[in-house]
Structure 1
Amino acid sequence: MPDAMRFPITAMITITIFVTTFSASHQRTLERTAFDEYTPLLRQIRKLFIAVMGRPTHTARSLQTVRSRNKLQKQMDGTINFPCSLNNARSEKRPSSVHALRPGDIDVIGGIGDSLTAGFGLTATSLATVFVENRGIAFSSGGQGSWRNFLTLPNILKVFNPKLHGYALGDYFTIDKESRFNVAEGAAISDNMPYMAKVLVNRIKMDPKVDLKNDWKMITFSIGANDFCTEMCYREKPESILEDHKEDVIDVLRILRDNLPRTFVNLVPPPNLEIISRFTHKPPQCYVTHSVECPCIFGLSYTKYQKRFGQIIRKWQKIEEDVVNMDEFDTDDFTVVYQPFTEEYAVPKTKEGKTDLSFLSEDCFHLSQKGNAQAANSLWNNIMEPVGRKDVHGTMLFKKFRCPTANHLYLFTRRNSKL
C-alpha cells in the first residue's frame, strides 16, 4: 500500500473509534439513548485501552513524550513561590454569606460539563489517546499533583485550603470513585445538564467527608461545544437550541440552589468555535477530525450558514449571562457568577504568526495540558475580578495571576462588586 494512503486509512479508523466513543452515552451520568445497548462494550474497550496503555498522567514516560512536544506547562520548582500571599487566606470563622468568601473558605469543589471539563486528550500523543480522560488535571475540577506541574482551579485553591475535597484524582471515568465530583461527560449537550446536576448533588450528599450544611462549595458549569458542533445544524430551526438551553440552565441552577446550601457557581460560557476556522498550518489529520467532530461548523454542507451559526453562539453566551443575573440565583448562601474569559478566547500564535499547536491536543479541537493550564489561570483571574470588569480574552500562563488584596479579600460576586 502506498505511504500516501496509509495516513488517511489509519486516521479514519482511529477517528471512527474515538468519535463513536464521544457520541455514545457511555457513562451513567447521561440519560438513556439509542447507544445504550453498546454501553457495556464501549466501556470495556476504554478500560482495556487504559489497562494496556496505562494512565498517561500517572506514567513518567507518557508525560515525557508530551513534554518533548512542548504541550505541558513549564514545571515550577521549589524555588518559585506561589504568586499570592497566604495571609488572611481563610476566614477565622466560617462566613455566613457567599458574598464574603475568601479563597481558603472553599471546602468542596466539583464540575459539570462536556469533554473540556472531563479533560479529554490533555496528554494525548496520538488521535487514539484523545479520548483518554485526563480528569485529574482538568482545568476546573481536577486536583492531581499541584499548581507547580498541573495548574488547575482546585490546585490553586488547595494552596489556600489544603483540606479541599471533591476534585478528580487522575485519568478516570465518571463511573470510577476517583472522579469524585467531576461528573462531566464527553459528547454531553445542554439537555443532559439537569440530569448531570442531579448526579453531582447525589454524590455530594452521599459523601461522608462533606458537611452539606456548613461546607462552602464551588461548582463550575460549562456546556455548549457539542450543541454547536453536532446539534444545531440538524434542527429545522437552528435558533431553537437557544430557548431550550435557557430552560436547561435555569433547571440546573435551581437544582444546585435547592439542594446544595452554601454554594458558589462559576458559569463559564463555551468559546466561540469560529476561532477554530481561523487556525493556520494545521496538520493533515486535523482537517479530518474537525469535519468529523464538528460537522456543523466544518461540514461543507453548512458553509453558507456559518455567519448564522456564529450569531447563535454569541446569543447562547448572552443567554447564559442573562440567566446568571436573575435575582433568584443571588441569595445570601448561593450565587452564580458569569466568568467570561472564553467569550473572546483565541489560541496563541507563534512568533511566525502561526497557530501555536502546543496549546491544543492531537485533534486540534481539545486542549493540551498547557492550554488547559492557561484556561485554569484565566478562570482563576475571572473569579478574582469584579463583575462587569472581567477579562473576556483569557491570559497567557502566569503572565497575569490575580490575588486577593487588602482592599478586597473576597471572591467577587454581583453584590460585592459594587455595581
Structure 2
Amino acid sequence: MAKLFAEHDWALPTNAAGIRPDRGIPRIAGKLSCSADAIAKSTKTRRDVNRVRPADIGYIAALGDSITSGTLAYDRPDEFSCLTWDHPGNSFAMGGDGTLETHLTLPNILRYLNPALIGFSKGMGKDMENTVLNVAYPGKWSDDMPRQARVLVERFNNYPRDTVQSEWKLITIFIGTNDITGMCKHNNGTSKEAYKKFVKEAISIIQANLPRSIISLIGTIDDVHNALKELAADASLQSTDQAVVVQRVFDDLHTPLKRTDRTYDTNFYATDTFHLSKYGSSLVAKQLWRQLLQPVGGKSTTIEDMADNDHNLACPDEVKEITAMSFFNRICCLLLLETSAHALVEFTHSTVYDNYDFIGVKEVALAQCKNGCLIYASIKTDPTDEYMNNLVVYDYSSGRNVSIALVSQNEETGWTRKLPLELERPGRYSILNLNADDSKASDLAVYVVDRATAQSIDYEIYDASTMDRNHQAPRSVVTIMGAGRFLASANAILSNSFTVRLAGFDNAKANNEDGCVHAYKGELEDFEFHVDGPLISFMFNKTKPVPQTGSYEYKTTRDLSKLGFITSPGFHGCAKVDPLQVYRQFEGGFNGGQYDLKSDRVIVLGVVSVRASARAMLDKLNVTWEIDSYATEQFMVEDNTNGHQKYLVVGEQKNNTITMKGTEFASLYYNDANPPSGFIARHTAVKA
C-alpha cells in the first residue's frame, strides 16, 4: 500500500511530525435486513467446515501488522498522541467497540449474529486486555507470523479447553505491507517463497493446536496474493474441520480510493495517509463481510464495492451459492442454508456420496483419502454406461484415474464379495466429473473409508445387485451397499445372534464412534430387510453359516410375520453425524432440501402396508413396534384389524413401544418432512 501512496500526489499537507491534520472522522454503521433463517445459528455444532454459518463462529482472532492492530483508527482528534497510536477496538478485522448499529466492523457483524462471540478487541493500547485474541503488532513483517501464531495459541489457553476444541474459529491473517515497503524503499523486501514459508508455518501452528479453524488470508500485491493462493491450494492445510481461504479485499485498490464521483476519498486513510481511519476500517470490514459470503472465484473486488459506504450489509441468502467446489477451494462461503445441504453423509471415518453430489459439479474432493482410503462403488446401470465411465477417481500425485464404473465391478474371483479401489499413500484425491454439464447421473453410491480404520475391522462387503452369500461362516461384519432401495434377506440355519445398523462396517459395532442406533438385534431368524438407504451392516456374535442374498426388490407391501423395520428415506440413526446430512438417493426424493418421505406405495395408496403372509393370515398376530423418531412432523401406525386403531407418533421419541394384539393387517404412513426429521420403526410378531 505504501507504494501506491508514493506514486500519487494526492495527500493533504502534513505537519512537522509528518502527520496530516484531522479533517473530521465520518463513521459507518451497519444494518442486516436478513431473514431469521438466513442468519440463524445451527441447531447442532457443525462438524464439516463447508457447512458453517456465520452465527456458528464462537471465536474470532487475527494475526498481522499495524493495519490489523488498528493503528491511528481513533475515534476523535483529541485521542491522538504518541502513546495512543493503536486503537484495536476499531480494527476492521477485530474491532469490537460500539455495536453494529454504531460502528461497522467484522466482529460487530458476527456479534450481532452470535452475542457470545469471544476474542474481539476493545479500546486503545497494546495490552492483552484490549487486544484479546488480536495478536497483530505494528511494524511486523511476515517472518513474525510463526511467533504470533504461538502467542495466539497461548492466549487460547486462557479459555475452557472444551469450548476451544468444539467452537468454530475465524482467524484473519493480513500481513505484507511492511514486506512490500522494504522492497520499494530499500530493495530488500521479502521474497514470495520466504513470505509463503512464514505464513504456512503460522497456519500449521494454528491448525495443530486449534481445531475447527477457518483461516482467512488477505493479500495485497500480486506476489503476495499468489503466494496465498498457493497456500490455499495446499491439500495438507485443508480437512473436514480446517480450511484456508483467500479473500481479495485489496485486489483492485491500485490507486488511492475514489468515491463514486471519481474524487479521492481522503477519509479512507488515517492522518499519516498510510493506515486506515476508523471510517476506512469500516469500508474494509464491509468488503470483507461481502467476500466471506461469496464463492471462491466469484469474489467482488471492484473499487465501487470498496467505496460503498451504505449501511446495508449483504445477506447470506442474497449471495449466489455454489453447491460444490474443488478441494483447494473448499470454503465457498461462511454460510450454507439447511436447504442447500449436500447429499453426502460424513461419518468420522467414512463418507457416502450419491448421484446428487456430482450433478453440475466437476470435482468432489475425497477428504477421507488424505491418509489413504478404500473406495467402494455401486451402480444400477450397465458398467458400459458413459456417465459412470466419465466419473473418475483421480490421484493428483501420479495423474492416474479409475472410473466409478470399473470400481463398481471390482469383485473377488469366485465370490460376489466386493473389492475396493485401495489408495495406499497419503495424498490428494478427488472424483472428477468429465461429463457434460447437462448430463444426468444415474443412481449410484460411493462409500469411502479411511484405510487404517478399514484395516482394523474384520469385514466383508457385497453389492445389493449381486450378493449371493454361500453357507460359509461370515466374518464379524457383513455390509451390503446399494445404489437404490434394496432388499437384504437370509434363511436361518443355525442359531446366530446379530445386530443390524444402517451404516457401513466402520459403524457396525455396539460402541461405534458415530453413535449409530441398531435397526434390529436378536437371534437370527428368516428375515427380509427392506433398506431405504445406501448401507446396511450385520454384526454377528457367532460365526456360523449364514446364507444371505440381496436384490433391488424393495417392496412396500411386506410380510408381517417376519421381523423387519421401516425407516424414513436415507435414515442412518447416527447421533454424532450432522442431522441435516441425509442420503438423497431416490428420484423425486430430497433434491433441493425438501425431503419427500413417501414410498412408492404411499404415492399410490397413501399408506405403507405391512400385511400378514398367507400362512399367517390364518392366525392372528401380536405385533410389537419399537420406534425411534427424530421428527418434528408426525407419522401414524394403524391397526387395520381392530377398529382401525391409530397410534400417532409426534416429535422426538426413543424406544417408543406400540403393541397390537390379534391383528392381521397393520399400516404405517407419514407426512412430508425436512431434515433433521427421520425415524425407524422396528416390528416383530408372534402368534396371538
Task: Choose the corresponding residue for 2:175, options 220, 223, 239.
Answer: 223
Q: Give the 3 Å change call, closer, same or farther, for CA 334–108 of structure 1 in structure 2.
A: same
Query: Which structure 1 residue ranges, 5 or more long, are not aligned?
Result: 1-7, 19-64, 271-312
Residue aligning to 2:313:
401
The structure that is helix-richer by fraction is 1
Within 5 Å, give how 1:326-337 maps onto structure 2.
Answer: 326-337=234-245
Partner-residue secondary structure (3-state), 1:206: coil
TM-score for the superposition, normalised by structure 2:
0.42
**Is the 1:111–1:141 Cα contact (8 Å) retained in structure 2?**
yes
Query: Where does residue 161 of structure 1 map in the other structure?
Result: 114
Q: Structure 2 CA distance, aligned partners of 1:355 and 1:178?
A: 33
CA distance in 2, matches of 1:355, 1:190: 30
Say which SS state the counterpart of residue 185 (structure 1) adopts.
coil
Is the 1:112–1:182 Cα contact (8 Å) retained in structure 2? yes
2:213 corresponding residue in structure 1: 263
CA contact (8 A) 1:190 1:224 kept: yes
Deviation string, structure 1 residues 278-330 (Cα, Å, up to 9, x no partner): xxxxxxxxxxxxxxxxxxxxxxxxxxxxxxxxxxx422221111111211121
Matched, 1:354 2:260: no
Given candidates 258, 268, 272, the residue that maps to 1:363 is: 272
Shift in Å at residue 147 of structure 1?
1.4
Listed one character per residue, the Cα deviations across residues 214-269 of structure 1 (whole Å, up to 9, x for unaligned) are: 01111000001111113565356x5x622210111110111111111011111011
In structure 2, distance between residues paired with 1:210 and 1:167: 20
**Aligned amino acid, residue 230 of structure 2:** D
Q: Within 2, Cα distance between the matches of 1:155 and 1:90?
A: 16
Which runs of structure 2 are paired with 1:50-129 in the superposition (5 Å)? Answer: 69-75=23-29, 82-88=32-38, 89-123=40-74, 125=77, 128=81
Aligned residues: 312
Q: Max radius of gyration: which structure? A: 2
Determine if contact 1:130/1:361 at 8 Å carries over to the other structure.
no
Q: Deviations over 1:131-157 (max 9, x none)?
A: 621101101011111112211111001
Instruction: Give 1:388's aligned residue.
Output: 297
Instruction: Name the CA distance, whole Å, in 2 between partners of 1:85 and 1:409.
Output: 20
Flag the structure with higher strand content: 2
CA gap of 1:125–1:102, structure 2 versus 1, over 3 A, is same
Matched, 1:414 2:414: no
Query: Does 1:143 pair with 2:55?
Result: no
- Tell me the residue number matched to 1:32: none
CA displacement, residues 356-391 of structure 1 (integer Å, 9 cap, x when unaligned):
211111111111111110000000011000011011
Runs of 4+ more than 6 Å apart: none
Deviation of 1:178 after TM superposition, in Å, equals: 2.5
Equivalent pair of 2:29/2:311 in contact (CA under 8 Å): no
Distance in 2 between the 1:362 and 1:344 partners? Answer: 23
Of the structure 1 ranges 316-325 and 191-200, higher mean CA displacement relative to structure 2 is found in: 316-325
Match of 2:186 in 1: 234
Deviation of 1:398 after TM superposition, in Å, equals 3.2
Give the Cα–Cα distance (whole angstroms) in 2 for the partners of residues 360 and 245 of structure 1.
26
Q: Is the 8 A contact 1:71 1:359 kept in 2?
A: no
- 1:314 aligned residue (196, 215, 222): 222
Q: 1:370 to 1:228 in 2, by over 3 A?
A: same
* Matched letter for residue 402 of structure 1: A
- 2:331 & 2:280 partners in 1: Cα distance? 31
The correspondence of residues 4-19 of structure 1 with structure 2, limited to 5 A, is 11-12=15-16, 14-15=17-18
Contact 2:105 2:285 in 1 (8 A): yes
SS at match of 1:255: helix
Aligned partners of 1:120 and 1:134 also within 8 Å: yes
Q: Match for residue 673 of structure 2?
A: none
* Alpha-carbon offset, residue 207 of structure 1: 2.3
Contact in 1 for aligned 2:237/2:243 (Cα 8 Å): yes
The 8 Å contact of residues 99 and 416 in structure 1, kept in 2 or not, is answered as: yes
TM-superposed deviation, 1:343: 1.0
SS of 1:370's equivalent in the other structure is helix
Give secondary structure in 1 for the equivalent of 2:172.
strand
CA RMSD of aligned residues (A): 3.1
What's 1:58 paired with?
none
Alpha-carbon distance between aligned partners in 2 of 1:222 and 1:163, rounded to the nearest angstrom: 25
Higher relative CO (Cα under 8 Å, sequence separation at least 6) belongs to 1
Distance 1:166 1:325 in 2: 28
Q: Is residue 105–residue 286 contact of structure 2 (8 Å, CA) maintained in 1?
A: yes
1:149 aligned partner, one-letter code: T
Identical counterparts, % of pairs: 29
Q: Is the 8 A contact 2:62 2:172 kept in 1?
A: yes
CA distance in 1, matches of 2:174, 2:83: 20
Is there any run of 5+ residues in structure 2 with no aligned partner, and where?
1-12, 333-360, 363-688
Conservation of the 8 A alpha-carbon contact between 1:106 and 1:161: yes
- Structure 2: distance between partners of 1:130 and 1:354: 33
